[in-house]
Amino acid sequence: MPLLLSKPVSPFSTYAIWNITETEAQLLEMIDETPPEAQPNKKSEWIVTRILIKYLCDSFNLDYEGVDNLDTGKPILVDSDAEISITHSFPLAGALINLRKPCGIDLEWPRQKLHIVASKFLNKDEEKYNTDLQSLCKIWASKEVLFKIHGNKNLSLKEEMKISFSGDWQVDGMIRKNGNSFSHKIAIEPIHNYLLAYNI
């Protein structure tokens, strides 16, 4: 199987990353599902994330019955209590599975546009990182992980999330929503020219 990378996060969680070089026809031969109509790159991402989720299910001896989506857009495994998350930023696509708790994974490219939109996702304590593109990208990717874990569209990246660096490649993420607080440790790894973030 042409995986770029597969790595256990814990005894009950693993992620996998794929670098898409195959044609759509080649990818279609690898699945028994019919992708939705979409632009070629988006369709390839859809196919690959399903291949990856099935691969991750197999690694934990879980039956793969397909992927569905909640009303919020959060992906779920059909007929399974295992939690999943997917990410794609062509040509890379990734997936994460966790047998015990909600999970989130995100791939981001450190692009200059992040400086332009920084005011929309940086809170007061994080504004100091707007001059450092690498740190800025780590914060953005980590907040995307929190967003995917929580699975609520009405969650403010700026007002209801906080990221604190506990090391160069690990952060503590906090969600504050409706008087409740949720903490998550997030690991970050460089992969090709991207940053990969996922909860641990």
The structural domains of the chain, with segments of one domain joined by +, span 5-103, 107-199
Q: What is the pLDDT of residue 152?
A: 78
Which pTM was predicted?
0.95
Q: Which of 139, 142, 104 is nearest to 118 (CA)?
A: 139
Q: Which of 103, 99, 165, 156 is nearest to 136 (CA)?
A: 165
State mean pLDDT over 78-107: 97
Percentage of the chain lying above the pLDDT 70 cut: 99
Alpha helix segments (H runs only) across the chain: 24-28, 40-59, 113-117, 133-150
Q: What is the pLDDT of residue 195?
A: 98
Among positive and negative, which fits the CA dihedral 137, 138, 139, 141?
positive
Confidence of residue 3 (pLDDT cuts 50, 70, 90): confident
State mean pLDDT over 60-77: 94
Q: What is the pLDDT of residue 154?
A: 86
Please give the CATH topology (third level) of the domain spanning 5-103.
Ribosomal Protein L22; Chain A (3.90.470)
Confidence of residue 187 (pLDDT cuts 50, 70, 90): very high
Q: What is the pLDDT of residue 68?
A: 96
Q: What is the pLDDT of residue 125?
A: 95
- Which residue's entry shows tokens 């952060």? 171
State mean pLDDT over 99-106: 97
Q: Is the pLDDT of residue 62 over 80?
A: yes
Q: Is the pLDDT of residue 153 over 90?
A: no
Torsion of CA 84, 54, 138, 182, to 10 degrees: 10
Q: Is the pLDDT of residue 73 over 90?
A: no
Please spell the DSSP secondary structure of 128-148, one letter per residue: GGGG-HHHHHHHHHHHHHHHH
**What are 106-142's pLDDT values in tens digits?**
999 999 999 999 999 999 999 999 999 999 999 999 9
Question: CA 171 to CA 49: how far, in whole Å?
Answer: 26
The amino acid sitting at 7 is K
State mean pLDDT over 41-63: 97
